[in-house]
Structure 1
Amino acid sequence: MNTRDWPIRAKLTALVIGPVTGLLALWIFATTLTFGPALDLLAARTLLYDLGRPGENVVAELQRERRLSVVQLAGDGVLPELAEQRDRTDRAVDELRRRIDGEELRDAADDQLDARLDQLGAALEALPAGRVFIDDRKVDRAGAVGLYSGMIGSAFQAFSAMATLPDVHLNREASALTALGRSRELLGQADALLAGAVTAGRYAEGEHEQLVRTVENQRFLAENAVADLPADERSGYQRLTEGAGFLRLRALQDTLIRADELPTGFDVRAWESSHAEVWQGLRDFELRGADSLAERSVPMAVRILVQLAAAGVLGLVAIVVCVLVALRVGRSLAHRLTGVRSAATEMAAERLPDVVARLRRGEDVDVAREAPEMDHGGDEIGQVASAFNEVRRTAVQAAVDEVTLRRGFNEVILNLARRSQGLVHRQLALLDRLERRTEDPDELAGLFQVDHLATRLRRHAEDLVILAGAAPGRGWRRPVAAVDVMRGAISEVEAYHRVDVGEVQPAGVLGRAVGDVIHLLAELIENATAFSPPGTRVDVTGRTVPGGYTVEITDRGLGMSPPNLAAANRKLAAPPEFDPADSARLGLFVVARLAARHGVRVELRPGRPTGTTATVFVPSDLITGEPPVGSDPASAGPERRRMAKVSRLTTVPRGRSSRPGRERPESTVIPLPTTRASTVEPPADSDGLPRRVRRRGPAARPRAVVADPPALRSPEEARRAMSALQAGTARGRRDGARTGGPAVTRIRDAGPDTPADVPADAGTPPTTPEPATEPSPPAPDQRTATERDA
């Protein structure tokens, strides 16, 4: 039986129940053993008066009737005295039967005595039939003696079963009195045999030998019985045997033993008188001894009962005291151990987490107050409580130190991030000025690459700011179109040329959330490009849904396993505390923090057929109508121009569409006249759009545009080319009108390293405007929000 996991109360109860149960069983056993003999002693009086006296009276009457029956069988007539004796015997037998059948005697008798009483009743049943045989002289004198002696023997067997008292001395005395009664019975048998021989004038065959044996047995029983009597009883018997009747009877017995035949001139009258005197003296001695035995058994029984009561009460009191002490001690131990357990549980589940939470909120914590002393005494439990007090103080102090260290660590990270963010912002402003002044195409391409790296550095600096628990600080004054928000996110991704913007339904994002939404989408897009094969594309779409706006980012990678996907979704739904040990999954933490700040929901699900789809749900309180082009005076700022550098490459190439059977507009570059040395030639991919060819050196001359032969251009291709040319010209004119004059907008060609100079009237794709506040320094390079199984 494994008791290791039992509650402490159950264990203490088991420890108490075992000894108490054993003590109670021992008390019951000892009480029973003592109570039984006491009851036997009390029953001895009942047996004496309900069985001893009536039984002895029956034995005496049967002995008289036996003598008269033998005398009648020895003579020729009928003795009148025999009929009177039979009446007296019947009355004695009836009284004995009434006592035997009574409940009082049966209740006091044990099993052996019950059996002996049944045997005595059966023996007495043969008395009427024996009398008939005697009257009809169908039995001789020896048979008559045997008949009555058998019934008397059954009575003495019942007397022997009655003499089983619990006290050794009383039991020995009762056995001695029973033996004296048997010796008196043998004396009666000898008298009956002699009376028959005297009446007949001679011994019958075998009567003399029987008479001799009877006398010898009588003397033997009397001698052994006297040895077991108490000293005073033995002295009384000795005085009785020294009387004249005993001496004369013994002399007559010796005479009968020596003579083979009935002695001539035997003094029958002397025998009868001596026998009557001795028989009655022995009977009186036996009755006095029985009365004395009964009287002495009652006080002894009372004394035993008193001792039993005292022992029982003391034992019961001891058991009750043991139970009370065990319960008190067990309850005290259980209460103290429960107190220690409750204190430990409260500290582990409530106090310590509350202290840590308060410390993280910046509150001051008193270690002594949060870890109060527990006083549980000076024993082992108290020592455990004292040790736990030290553990609690150490745990609270360790929590204070850990939170203080983490707070300092966050402040260090935030300080470094702010510094890096400021430097990156200054670098971006410097790059923007250099890009405006640079005329050389190669230098402009290099500046574009540095500008893109600085934009990524700004995002990583913002990651550090978010990890430190602060806000990045980048914001817009007015709403920004959803497509510009997506383009702004793509502009912060390294592999932006692999990202396709598919169908985007018109909507606007409030300026206060634009920076965080751009950052969130950039993390997810970065992750999609990082964990998908280099030759695949990443699709970004947006649509209006009930309650907000949804952006979906789908890659074609290997996807994530269901356990990892579920773990990532749990982290995105409830952002955990930042753990520096989990540096491989900072992207998830950043996305979860940004989403929780604005109530945005981010969910990852398996893509079809492969890959992963990240769904970003922006609530309706952050969504507004799409702002008109040019609604923000600052839309021509450096942030908008920075987005424009990749806006040409964020559309699906010709022949690709976001949905089956649905064409998306092609990416175009509009050639317009320029003062710089460049010419326009047909592109190598024969898409119908002109491309600028850079010329190097002062002698460079523009080349004429060589158009494809009409036969090589289909009507559909010509229509698309002219439509694109007209749309680009219109956008360029609108941008020039806003800026107040012709402005040169630099657009990268199909390759990221191929810059182009296009006048402002050629137009640029609409992008997000410049932020109204200075951006916070970005964070160092980390993994993006969703961690995929590559």
Structure 2
Amino acid sequence: MNTRDWPIRAKLTALVIGPVTALLALWIFATSLAFGPALDLLAARTLLYDLGRPGEAVVAELQRERRLSVVQLAGDTALPALAEQRTRTDQAVAELRRRVDGPDLRDAADDLLDQRLDQLLSALDALPAGRGFIDARKVDRAGAIGLYGGMVNSAFQAFSAMANLPDHRLNREALALAAIGRSRELLGQTDALLAGALTAGRYAEGEHEQLVRTIDNQRFLVENAVADLPERARAEYQRFTEGEAYVRLHALQDTLIRARALPADLDVRAWESSQAAVWQGLRDFELRGADDLAERSVPMAVGILVRLAVAGVFGLLAIVVCVLVALRVGRSLAGRLTGVRTAALEMAEHRLPDVVARLRRGEEVDVAREAPELDHGGDEIGQVGRAFNEVRRTAVQAAVDEVTLRRGLNEVFLNIARRSQGLVHRQLALLDRLERQTEDPDELAGLFQVDHLAARLRRHAEDLVILAGAAPGRGWRSPVAVVDVVRGAISEVESYDRVDVGEVQPAGVLGRAVGDVIHLLAELIENASAFSPPGTRVDVTGRRMPGGYAVEITDHGLGMSPQALADANRKLSHAPEFDPADSARLGLFVVARLAARHGIRVELRPGTPAGTTATVLVPADLVTEEPALGSAGPDAGVGPDQLRVAKVTRRNTLPRPRVARPGRDRPDSAAVALPAGRTSSVEPPADGDGLPRRVRRRGPATRSRPVVADTPAHRSPEEARRAMSALQAGTARGRQDGARVAADRHREATPAIVITGPGTPGGPAAVPPTPTAAQAGDPAAVSPSSAAARAGDPTGDAAPGRAGTSVPGPAAAPEAPTATERDA
């Protein structure tokens, strides 16, 4: 056994542990040997008075009832004395049950006696049924004797289990007294057999042989039992056998044994008197012996307990002395080493983590104060203490340096992220200008794709800002509709075309949380599309809840294991510190940070029948009623911060419309059907005379347009995207100029063309027709980011190095723009 690594206290304890253990084991062994017998002796008195006396009374009453039952079966009429005897038997049985069910007897009884008591009670339960058989004369005399004999035998088995005393002399006497009781039972059976035969006038078949066996067994049992009694008890029994009643009964028994038939000259009165006297004498002898045993067992138990107490006291004193010596020897050395150990643990478990936590909160830490010098003496232990002082100081300084370095890295990340944001914002602005200037639908579609990539780059740059512990910066002054927030989130993911927006109940999100909610939903939608097969859809729905507003994102992939779900939900509910080693799950970390910032609950659960469902519960304090719409359209009276999402994000998530335009009639206004049945219309551009006004790089608005058929011809997806680009370009420029003229002259609104689609109250949308020449050459179609930039939201995040510059709102997807309303 290698003791080199044992602590000092263990080594000192080992010096005395051997002797102390041996002494303790010896003390326990001696105690167990003496304590159990002492308790058994004390329990003997309880067993005698709670079981012996009541049980013997039940046996006596059963023997009397048996004799009367046999007599009634031998005669022709019922015996009134039998009914009275049954009442006395029932009273004795009830008293025995009360004692057996009491706590004292059960506590004093061992397992064997408990089992015998249960058997006795079960046998007594059959007494009413046996009486019924006797009254109905369904049993003969031998059957009645056997019925009562079984109950009496169960009682004597319980008495035998009581004879389990630790002292062998007492135990032998108890067994002898039990045997005398059995001999008395055989004497009672002999009386019952003879009483039945006398009543019937003859022996039944086999009764004489049974009578002879019973008499022989009774004599044998009593002679062997008396031999085990002490001398004084044997002398008492000898005097009893010399009495007149015993001698007369013995002679009558001999007569019955010799005569095979019932003797005609048998003196019945002499039999009854002598049998009753002998039976009662044996009972008294038995009870006196039991009382004597109980009285002698108590002093023996007390003596054992006294000896046990003395031995226990001395043993405990010896153990205490050994322990005190060991403590005295090792206290000085172990105490000083414990002080060093305590200081080390206090540093590792409390002081150092507290220092790190304070540093992360930005507090200043004094190394000398946090790692003071501790004096442990001048010997070897003191040298260890001084070495530990240096270790403590170095550990605190290392913690300070590590947190400082980490804080610097966060600043670097934040600086890089801000610069990336600035570059992305400038790129989005440049793309916006290029989209306005281009007239080629192919180039415009390509610019939209680059615009979408730039919007995603902006979200990833915001991820770096969040990882660095700062806020991304995008914000709104006024509430934004939840449906627009959802669409803004969809427009920032790669596979936006696989996302289906289901029912989104009307509600709004406070402006201060809109940017973070869009980012959070975009991360979850991106996750859902990335971890599900390309051919499946991602469903997004929203509904009001008692505690706020719930948005559910469901994919149809393989799902997650229960362990993975539990781990992800734990991270989402308690935003952890960023761990670079867990870079594969940056999305969950970003979602957890954003959710913790606004008290949003995010939970993942298995989807039905497969996949994963992410539930985002926005708290009630961030949810408002859906922003109201003015009578002139959805953007009437709405500030720039709302237009930034409400106009831009609708572009890609609304269904693509199909518009049927008359060939010669100029449309006076354009309208878009929004969720919940809202439509939007604006005036067409006009000059001072009410005629259409020219727009730069565009032909006269009054030139004729070709008639377009209602049913579009088959075209490729690229042609459809070009058509949608041109369609939005024309409608956007018309709404821009028309709204400005309408504000100046308050002209009455002309009939509008309503564009509806699936998911809106207006019905399904048709595929757009081939664009007109004016639409195809319109450069006014703008990118997903340009409309938000022109909305002029003063609360948007400013790119680093561009103070005061509004940043774009959430980017839309790079699909060809629809005819939904946008900023002019």
Return the TM-score normalized by structure 2: 0.45
Q: Whose Rg is larger?
A: 1
Return the TM-score normalized by structure 1: 0.47
